Amino acid sequence: MTVPQISPPRRILMGPGPSDIHPSVLAALAAPTVGHLDPYFLKVMDEVQSMLREVFQTTNHLTMAISGTGSAGMETCVVNLIEPGDRMVVGVNGVFGGRMAEVAERVGAEVTRIERPFGEVFTPEEVATVVAKVRPKVVGIVHAETSTGARQPLDEIAKIVHDAGALFVVDCVTSLAGIPVEIDKLAIDAAYSGSQKCLGCPPGLAPVTFGPKALEVMDQRKKKVSSWYLDIGLLRNYWGNNRAYHHTAPINMNYALHQALRLVLQEGLQTRFARHQLHHTALKAGLEAMGIRYSVAAETSLPMLNSVLIPDGADDASVRSQLLNEFGIEIGGGLGPMKGKTWRIGLMGETAQKSNVLLFLAALEQCLNRQGIRPAPGAAIVAANALYCSINN
């Protein structure tokens, strides 16, 4: 059988992840593969770990990249901290909170869900009430709900969880490197992320970090971790000083993450957060000038994931395929109860750029016109441009 060599189209990835990748990160993937115990690779691993600590804003020694996507990071945190019968409280206000609850149930936790409609966030009071009643071992919450575009404030909840003596696990898949993720400041006990959102790397690695209290709990387990592959006790021997073979690390993916992290730190975290915020503000000005509304409140909307209501009369699938086919732009549709109701426009990592915002607004205007929706011609571009010009950027 002869199959032609792959030749993927060049897209602008403005969906919920993966996001655009800097050419130097793609080039790192193509560097020569060495062995997973080669001294050269061990140095790469060490550097990945120390750069991850900076990005997570932590000194946690146990910080590393799990071989797998963001969901593997989620599963790693849950499976190592939970033993069958342990109580866990999970905030469910979107698809990923629901996934965390599901993962916890599968490893035998007694799960209590705190639920909120998609797009809303939790108040410290409601978390306090449930935590006081349930007395959980672990509380899990999603920082940036990519399915809804909502940003969960963490400060007060972190305090409530700790005062109750529970461990705080946070999903930082979409937030890491896009908005501040302050692991040590908030004493978050365990957190996980994914390589393909604001870190700007292809999918395939899940950065995780565990604090001292989480370590203690893992050391005191009565039963072995039910996943061999994700057992932190075993993984520590590979990522730590022992360098004992556990599994073959995806070498080239770690090269890519290494380069992506270098770019994040070269730019600087604060500058990177400000960049995400700037392009979000410009995009928002443009969308609103076209009469498009956000599906989340302004105070809690995420800069890197803009969830907007599909205007009446526009066909979800036709607009998204026109964007893809005519402009090479990918955006996301709604998930779960938001399916067919929202578009999710990502501005993650490399994607958060002026040229993408302006092209997207112009493209969307054309798509809306084809749907018979006629916003004031050019108003979106005018509004976004006005914002860019006003800050002299």
Residues making contact with ligand PLP (CB under 6 A): 17, 69-71, 74, 96, 142, 144, 146, 171, 173-174, 194, 203
Distance between CA atoms of 163 and 119, rounded to whole angstroms?
A: 28
Question: 192 or 327, CB closer to ligand PLP?
Answer: 192
Q: How far is the CB of 197 from ligand PLP (least distance, A)?
A: 6
Residue placing its CB nearer to ligand PLP in the complex, 82 or 302 = 302
Q: How far is the CB of 350 from ligand PLP (least distance, A)?
A: 17
* 206: nearest Cα among 45, 57, 70, 100: 70
Q: Which residue is nearest to ligand PLP (CB)?
A: 70
CA distance 266 to 264: 6
Cβ proximity to ligand PLP: between 96 and 255 the closer is 96
Pick the closer one to ligand PLP by CB: 136 or 178: 178
Q: How far apart (Å, rounded) are the C-alpha atoms in residues 384 and 362?
A: 11
**Complex with ligand PLP: residue 206 or 215, whichever CB lies closer:** 206
SS3 299: helix
| Least distance (Å) between residue 52 CB and ligand PLP | 16
- For residue 282, the minimal CB distance to ligand PLP (Å) is 23
Which residues are within 8 A (CB) of 154 and not within 5 positions of it... i.e. 6 or more apart? Answer: 141, 143, 170, 186, 188
Minimum separation from the CB atom of position 194 to ligand PLP (A):
4
**Closer residue to ligand PLP, CB minimum distance, 96 or 327:** 96
Q: How many other CB atoms sit within 10 Å of the CB of residue 243?
A: 14
C-beta separation of 201 from 176 below 8 A: no
**Least distance to ligand PLP, CB of residue 148, Å:** 10
Give 74 or 364: the residue with its C-beta nearer to ligand PLP: 74
Minimum Å gap between C-beta 17 and ligand PLP is 5
Q: How far is the CB of 171 from ligand PLP (least distance, A)?
A: 5
How crowded is the C-beta side of 300, counted as CA atoms within 13 Å?
Answer: 21
Spatial neighbors of 169 by CB under 8 A, at least 6 apart, are 77, 78, 81, 100, 138, 139, 140, 141, 188, 189, 190, 191
Q: Which is nearer to ligand PLP, 107 or 314 (CB)?
A: 107
Q: How far is the CB of 66 from ligand PLP (least distance, A)?
A: 11
Nearer to ligand PLP (CB atom), residue 230 or residue 380: 230
Match 């409609």 to its residue by tokens: 117
Write the DSSP assignment of 216-272 as a string of letters. HHHHT-SS--S-STT-HHHHHHHHSSS----S---HHHHHHHHHHHHHHHHH-HHHH
71-87 burial string, b = 16+ CB within 10 Å, else e?
A: bbbbbbbbbbbbbeebb
**Residue 8, class by beta-carbon neighbours within 10 Å (0-12 exposed, 13-18 middle, 19+ buried)?**
exposed
Q: Dihedral sign for Cα 79, 84, 88, 90, please.
A: positive
Tokens of 303: 């800069």
Beta carbon of residue 380, minimum distance to ligand PLP (angstroms, whole number) = 27
Compare residues 44 and 150 and give the one whose CB is closer to ligand PLP: 150
Q: Is 73 left (phi over 0), alpha (psi -120 to 50) or beta?
A: alpha
